[in-house]
Amino acid sequence: MAEKCQMCLLELIILCSLLTATIGVDDTHKFCSSGENVRLPCNNALSGCTSTTWTYSRYSEAVELMAEGEKKIDPERHERLSLGSDCSLNIKNVTKEDYGFYICQQYVNEQQQGTDAHVYLHFLHVFPSSTQSEIRPGSSVTLFCQLYIDGVSCDTLVSSEGVQLFWVNQAGANLQTDSRYQISPPGQCSSTLTTTLQDEDHNREWRCQVTQRNEVKTSAAYIVRYSDSADSTSEPVVFMTAGPLFRVIVIIVEIAVFAAPTVILLQIICSRRAGRKNSLPPEENRDVYSNTMK
């Protein structure tokens, strides 16, 4: 029974991939992150764009964005959309709401001309773990890098389109082999980076890059900011950044350092006074003093 199911599943997968291979001749994958401007190509366009229709869909829900080369009313995106001279769809200041599947079609007298142009827009986002309590030196931080996709599986993106996620530092160096970081294995559409924060990490940036066939397509970054040091005024940095236990140790050490010579000095004075009161001979008094010094 289980074997039969596996066979069915395998057949289904093969059938699906065959269908995608034949239908998706004009598939384009676009990658973006927050605030970017993107251009989605419409490779089947007729001149003038008056026959161009752009349709957006996510989770199988379709919205017509452009029809007969004119913008349709879509309150969320209206201001940010425009049609290029080659009938491509321009989206300004991209947000997470824009990822999904876009179709460009040409209609003349309600008859479709040519084939569809399919564009998958994928959105890359980096964010810290929601359970992150404090951003300060010594604490552990976990960053998530997520590629939001729709209409295509992550497996297809990774195996057929050669898509990969990488963590890099400010200099662009790959952090995968850096022992300071624990990074989830590559080959997924999401990745986590975990590290213990160090003093010098304030204003440090960790960047997640998406590459397609080894070419960087877009990236998104997270910048560490220590909230404590931002509103510190007169207090020394060690007290701002150190934990309570460390503070107690520092205070004890300080007391010990300042108090020890005072106690010794008091002892000397007391023993001298006591010596005079008991009216010891001056020689003996000197011996007591020199003994304490030894």
- Rounded to the nearest whole angstrom, what is the least distance from the CB of residue 80 to ligand NAG in the complex? 8
Interface residues for ligand NAG in 253-282 (CB under 6 A)? none
CB of 69 to ligand NAG, least distance (A): 24
Report the residue number whose CB is nearest to ligand NAG: 93
What is the number of residues in the chain?
Answer: 294
3-state secondary structure 170-236: CCCCECCCCCCCEECCCCCCEEEEEEECCHHHCCCEEEEEEEECCEEEEEEEEECCCHHHHCCCCCC
Q: Of the two residues 35 and 162, which places its CB atom closer to ligand NAG in the complex? A: 35
Output 95 or 285, the one with its CB closest to ligand NAG: 95
Q: Say if strands 111-128 and 140-148 run parallel, antiparallel, or are unpaired.
A: antiparallel
Smallest distance from ligand NAG to CB 121, Å: 16
Which residues from 26-45 bind ligand NAG, rule CB under 6 A? 35
Q: How far is the CB of 54 from ligand NAG (least distance, A)?
A: 21
Closest to ligand NAG by CB, 26 vs 74, is 74
Q: Please, what is the minimum distance in Å from the beta carbon of residue 97 to ligand NAG?
A: 9
DSSP bridge partners of 118? 27, 103
| Closest CB to ligand NAG among residues 71, 204 | 71
- Give the CA count within 13 Å in the CB-facing half-sphere of 4: 1
Q: Rule CB under 6 A: say whether 95 interacts with ligand NAG.
A: yes
Site string for ligand NAG, 215-254 (x = CB under 6 A): ----------------------------------------
Judged by beta carbon, residue 95 or residue 184, the one nearer ligand NAG is: 95
- According to the binding rule CB under 6 A, does residue 93 interact with ligand NAG? yes
Rounded to whole angstroms, the Cα distance separating 29 from 152 reads 10
Question: Three-state DSSP class for 134?
Answer: coil
Place of tokens 């491509």: 88
Distances (CA, A) of 79 to 62, 85, 90, 102: 19, 18, 11, 18
User: Distance (Å, rounded) from C-alpha 1 to C-alpha 33?
Assistant: 45
Q: How far is 200 from 183, CA to CA, in rounded Å?
A: 21
- Tell me how far apart the alpha carbons of residues 74 and 64 are, in angstroms, rounded to a whole number: 9
Q: Report, in Å, the least distance between residue 7 CB and ligand NAG.
A: 48
Residue closer to ligand NAG by CB (options 96, 273) is 96
53/146 with CB nearer ligand NAG: 146
Query: How many residues at the interface with ligand NAG, by CB under 6 A?
Result: 3
Q: Does 203 bind ligand NAG (CB under 6 A)?
A: no
For the CB of residue 119, give the shortest distance to ligand NAG in the complex, in Å.
Answer: 21
Instruction: Give the C-alpha separation, 216 to 210, whole Å.
Output: 6
Tell me which residue has tokens 């057949």. 11
Chain residues in the site for ligand NAG (CB under 6 A): 35, 93, 95
